Chain A
């Protein structure tokens, strides 16, 4: 932050110093288009001082198709009579000839990222491991001058993206926590978990459906099988299916994605298997309707009203349809339990369903319902993750307040 500010002040100063000259010198045409034509005619007169110290080197953290060029601005950049308006970056694979313009930046800039395409067929193909020479052309409105040619440089790819170090470390630490606590759980260490109302209600709701002799509706949301919320919901589904099999209630799982269809069928099957009643599983209890959001919802709403489902569970990734489902279920008089990772939809679930699992609670629910020690171990790891976040936040806030920017920057991601 601070460095940027100082840089800004410098730029400001430079611009203010140039202003009077601009007022005098500029009368026509852009530097970009008309300027080029003129410059070719009149390159000697009033040429600005040339940029110096041109250095080209491989651009960091990339796939090896870019070179970054840096230079010392012209002495006339921001001062002098022949004020510089812009720089052009020229490149060639020969140190003497064949230079072509690769880009243009406004005055006051001292570096340029020359990035090209990866594919050989592309017009803008930028070969890796091939030497290139650069020079910089400083342009005023009427004239230009060129720097000396840089030393050769070639582009190459990197093995590690240093800008993502913080992500790498955070992921490594959290993975370690998960492994550690799962291992502890394996060894039989008892773990306490606080009660969550929505999760306790699941059992009760299944019992109610059994008493009423009406089906349970389970909606996995509109996410794909690769969405984390869908995965969490699939786990819960298999636990619910197990209980449903035990109580001998019927389960309806209409889905909105073909791949989710297959994994949902397997999850339900696994639940029936765990309950010791694999023969009671009916394949048509999980079926595909359509992948189009509102068509899917219209069908599910019809289903609720006609089948008069006793219990509706909405767990997974939900979008605008959340309230359409929840209100219709409410009209049908169903007990409703919801949970989603879509923050924008949580308010509607809270307003229109009986219990709502907020964000992370959805992910915790699978472990709660199974009470399997391995899964509970992961919950403990999540809590330690939170402790780490809180400590980082406190220290980071303190550091930001005291302007210890280096600490705050540890968390910065430079993509």
Chain B
């Protein structure tokens, strides 16, 4: 390990410990790491965006390939800068409108497909009481129905309807509990990774002395 990488890994180890120090309480080390990473990451993101999007989507098509159809979105993009002026900032509504229109239009059918029809089709399974898998299919369908009842907004949750809604929220909670329980393992793995990094670094450091 050369001096450069000792120092750089030392910086990484120092920043790791600085972030962990927030567990005790807010302190100058955490503040330092926090403010540093905000600046570095914002600069990183902007530069990467410039090279990965501005160059291939604006510079190359307009300036190099003379695809002037790309001038339209470029002008829209420039209109965003009218926001620097209070008086002209209303002109930024045009790019925002284009952004929203395209975004919402794309989202509508895709959401219908992925969030509604796919799970609906997947739940349409043969059901019955003769085998465990048939019975489980039945339970899944009943569970979906009850949980949907919970999401009803325009009807009071009373009587049998309320009963179904209560079962519905219970089923949702089982799902959330399962999600919580399953996640612990992944999070602990991340902590193991950090601890191993620190251990290895300090072992190397001690080895050098």
Residues on A with beta carbons closer than 8 Å to the beta carbon of B155: 192, 194, 383
A377 to chain B, nearest CB (A): 10
Residues of A close to B109: CB separation below 8 A: 164, 167-168, 171
Q: What B residues does A400 contact at CB under 8 A?
A: 124-127
Find chain B residues with CB under 8 A from A382 CB: 153
Chain B neighbourhood of A295, CB < 8 A: 37-38, 40-42
Instruction: Encode A365-403 as 1/0 by CB contact (under 8 A) with B.
Output: 000000000000001101100100110111011011101
Looking at A72-80, A309-317, A406-414, the stretch in contact with chain B turns out to be: A406-414
The chain B residue with its CB closest to the CB of A410 is B121
A374 to B45, CA, bound (A): 40
A290 touches B99 (CB 8 A): no
- Chain B 120-134: CB-based contact to A (< 8 A → 1; otherwise 0): 110111111000000
Instruction: List, in ascending order, chain B residues with CB within 8 A of A288's CB.
Output: 42
Docked complex Cα distance between A287 and B62 (Å): 32
**B100 CB–A CB distance under 8 Å:** yes
Contact A263 B96 (CB under 8 A): yes
Give CA–CA (A392, B144) in the complex, Å.
Answer: 12
Known: A302-B34, A346-B176, A389-B148. A411 touches B117 (CB 8 A): yes
CB distance from A354 to the nearest CB of B (A): 16
Nearest opposing residue in chain B for A298, CB measure: B34
- A306 lies within 8 A of B26 (CB): yes
The answer, among B41, B80, B120, for a CB contact under 8 Å with A292, is B41
Q: Give the total of B residues in contact with A, Cβ under 8 Å.
A: 62
| Segment of A33-41, A62-70, A142-150, A355-363 in the binding face | A355-363
**Distance of A292 Cα from B103 Cα, bound (Å):** 22
B99: which of A226, A292, A351 is its contact (CB, 8 Å)? A226
Instruction: Looking at the assembled complex, report how far the CB atom of B102 sits from the nearest CB atom of chain A, in whole angstroms.
Output: 8
Write the nearest CB–CB distance from A409 to chain B, whole angstroms. 9
Contact assessment for B100 and A290 in the assembled complex, using a CB-CB cutoff below 8 Å? no
Among candidates B37, B38, B153, residue contacting A193 with C-beta atoms closer than 8 Å: B153
User: Once the chains are docked, how many angstroms separate the CA of A83 from the CA of B106?
Assistant: 50
Q: Is the CB of B80 within 8 A of A393?
A: no
A292 touches B45 (CB 8 A): yes
Q: Are B176 and A393 closer than 8 Å at their CB atoms? A: no
* A397 & B99 in contact (Cβ 8 Å cutoff): no
A266-303 Cβ-contact flags toward B at 8 Å (1 or 0): 10000000000000000000001111101110110110
A344 at the interface (CB under 8 A from B): yes
Q: Select one of A164, A166, A170, A289 contacting B38, CB under 8 A.
A: A289
- CB contacts (< 8 Å) of A306 on chain B: these are 26
Q: Which of B53-82 contact A (CB under 8 A)?
A: 80
Would you call B125 and A383 a contact (CB within 8 A)? no
Chain A: minimal CB distance from B73 (Å): 13
In the complex, what residues of A have CB within 8 A of residue B180's CB?
A: 347-348, 351
Instruction: Contact check, A167 vs B45: say whether CB atoms are below 8 A apart.
Output: no
- Chain A residues numbered 139-174 whose CB sits less than 8 Å from any CB in chain B: 164, 166-168, 170-171, 174
Asked if B116 and A389 make an inter-chain contact with CB atoms under 8 angstroms apart, the answer reads yes
A237, chain B: closest CB distance, angstroms: 15
Interchain CB contact under 8 A, A299 and B38 = yes
Q: Is the CB of A393 within 8 A of B123?
A: yes
| Interface assignment of A252: CB less than 8 Å from any CB of chain B | no
B128 partner residues in chain A, CB cutoff 8 A: 401
Q: How far is the CB of B108 from chain A (nearest CB, A)?
A: 6
In the complex, whether A225 has a CB less than 8 A from a CB of chain B is yes
A403 contacts across to B, CB distance below 8 A:
126
CA A127 to CA B176, docked complex, whole Å = 52
Binding site for B on A (CB under 8 A): 164, 166-168, 170-171, 174, 191-194, 196, 224-228, 231, 259, 262-263, 266, 288-292, 294-296, 298-299, 301-302, 305-306, 343-344, 346-348, 350-351, 358-361, 364, 379-380, 382-383, 386, 389-390, 392-394, 396-397, 399-401, 403, 408, 411-413
Given A290-B41, A383-B153, A408-B121, 15 other A-B contacts at CB below 8 A?
A171-B109, A196-B153, A226-B107, A266-B96, A295-B41, A298-B19, A347-B183, A350-B176, A359-B151, A396-B123, A397-B125, A399-B124, A401-B128, A408-B124, A411-B120
Can you give 11 contacting A-B residue pairs, CB < 8 Å? A193-B153, A193-B154, A226-B107, A262-B92, A290-B42, A295-B38, A298-B33, A302-B30, A347-B180, A389-B120, A397-B127
Closest 5 CB pairs of A and B: A226-B103, A396-B124, A295-B41, A292-B41, A290-B42
